[in-house]
Amino acid sequence: MKLIENFMNGANTLLWSYVLIIMLVGLGLYFTFRTKFVQFRMIGEMFRLMGEGATSGKKGVSSFQAFCISTASRVGTGNLAGVAIAITTGGPGAVFWMWLIALIGSASAFVESTLAQIYKVKEGDTFRGGPAYYMEKALKARWMGVTFAVLISITFGLAFNSVQANTITSSLNNSFGIDKTIVAVILAVITAVIIFGGIKRVAKVSEWMVPIMAGAYVLIALYIIVTNFTEIPGVIALIFNSAFGFNEVAGGALGAAMMNGIKRGLFSNEAGMGSAPNAAAAADVSHPVKQGLVQSLSVFVDTLVICSSTAFIILLSGLYTSEEANGIVLTQNALEGSLGSWAGTFLAFIVFLFAFSSIVGNYYYAESNIEFIKNNKVFLNIFRALVVGMVAFGAIAELSFVWNLADLFMALMAIINLIAIALLGKFAYAALADYKKQKAEGKNPVFYSTNIEGLNNLDAWEDAPKQMDSKRKLG
């Protein structure tokens, strides 16, 4: 065990992290140009689809529910503590690079989620899919899919859920003095009730929890911004000057700002990492591109809205230069400085919602991949029991080793996914062209398995009627 821990803490983990960052940024830029900046050109369509998706989902979960599941996993305590760490270690300029990486990464989110929809499979009255499925069906590499499925199941289902549970118990213990063992038992029971209820229950919980937690936090941030409106131009100038200023370049701080901002953006919104496509595949939509666009919007919500809320709260407080607080403590101190001591209690409540919503979203990612490895009810229930056990364990344990293990596994699974979507991106581009063509004709886009030349092994999409069979050439 000590040998493994030394490996996790050593240069190997750092190397994989750098490889991952280079691939995520490089492919994000490539997909942005290849889709002709789809994340900007079609942002209005993204919001329109959110309203349309709220009323669909007769066979699977609705488009809105899939958005909530993915957002539940993306939006976690990292949006509160991680942004604070990025600012204290990289300076205010890290916020700019965090924004930039979200704008780039949303193109990767579009590609991977569209592919997940194309290659999703039917399971009764629901759908499931994700990277493991398109690796097997499109690349004919089941070994690659199984490897990815194992990595994401361990990373999200077990390791990350342990960390989120630990954050909840620490927050409640620090704010209210509640014994961690009591919190651990309560968390384990609630988690068991939800996850043993299946994807429909996971979707229902995410559907109400995500808007409440995100909305409440953003409203508080907006109140702080409005009441400090005259200081906003100075804060924005501080962010840009720190990102590009001469002092930062000369002092070597520019590199720190870039790296911390890029890492915060990438690891917060998860674009390109292969996690959100598992939720995207569950959506019942008429065309794969619809969920690709919705998942691009989820990246914006995570980074440009939630992470930015934390950034402005901290920068307006002026406490980011202090060395006495970091992470969640800095965010809490900044809130209390702006709103009063009650803000500490409020933040404890928000931490609970953010962290527990991540547990729910993370579990669904793992469930979809466990079923890919072995579609057996007994096997799935054993895994569910392991998840509940890891939530209870994580609530009371020291988790530095679990963090290191999760970071390594997440890097490996993301690299595998990026290789796959780089090879399969042509199908996402063709699907986008088909969607735009139908929209231009005044239609509500409907996808058939014969709409794109070269597609095979599709399970959830019917062949087009003879008179409607108009194949799209690969872009």
Span 326-358, pLDDT tens digits: 566 677 777 777 777 777 777 777 777 777 777
Mean pLDDT across the stretch 129-141? 93
Q: Tell me how far apart the alpha carbons of residues 435 and 444 are, in angstroms, rounded to a whole number.
A: 9
CA angle 300, 45, 138 (to 5 degrees): 80
Provide the pLDDT for residue 10. 47
Residue type, 292: G
Give the predicted TM-score (pTM) of the model: 0.82
Closest of 388, 359, 351, 320 to residue 174, by C-alpha: 351
- Of 121-130, 146-155, 429-438, give the lowest mean pLDDT range: 121-130
- The per-residue pLDDT for range 102-115, each reduced to its tens digit, is 888 899 999 999 99
Q: Are 188 and 391 in contact (CB under 8 A)?
A: yes
Q: Are 75 and 210 in contact (CB under 8 A)?
A: yes
Structural domain boundaries in the chain:
37-468
Torsion of CA 284, 288, 289, 294, to 10 degrees: 40
Q: Tell me how far apart the alpha carbons of residues 111 and 118 are, in angstroms, rounded to a whole number.
A: 11
Closest of 20, 395, 471 to residue 182, by C-alpha: 395
Closest of 114, 106, 132, 85 to residue 43, by C-alpha: 106
Q: Tell me how far apart the alpha carbons of residues 169 and 174 are, in angstroms, rounded to a whole number.
A: 8
Q: Tokens 């989110």 correspond to what residue?
A: 109
- Of 70-84, 150-164, 220-234, 288-302, give the lowest mean pLDDT range: 70-84
DSSP 3-state assignment of 265? helix
Q: Are 11 and 405 in contact (CB under 8 A)?
A: no
Q: Tell me how far apart the alpha carbons of residues 65 and 147 are, in angstroms, rounded to a whole number.
A: 28
Q: Which residue has the higher pLDDT, 245 or 365?
A: 365
Residue type, 411: A
Q: What CATH number does the domain located at 37-468 have?
A: 1.20.1740.10
- The per-residue pLDDT for range 298-318, each reduced to its tens digit, is 888 888 888 888 888 888 887
Closest of 57, 74, 99 to residue 286, by C-alpha: 57
Provide the pLDDT for residue 177. 76
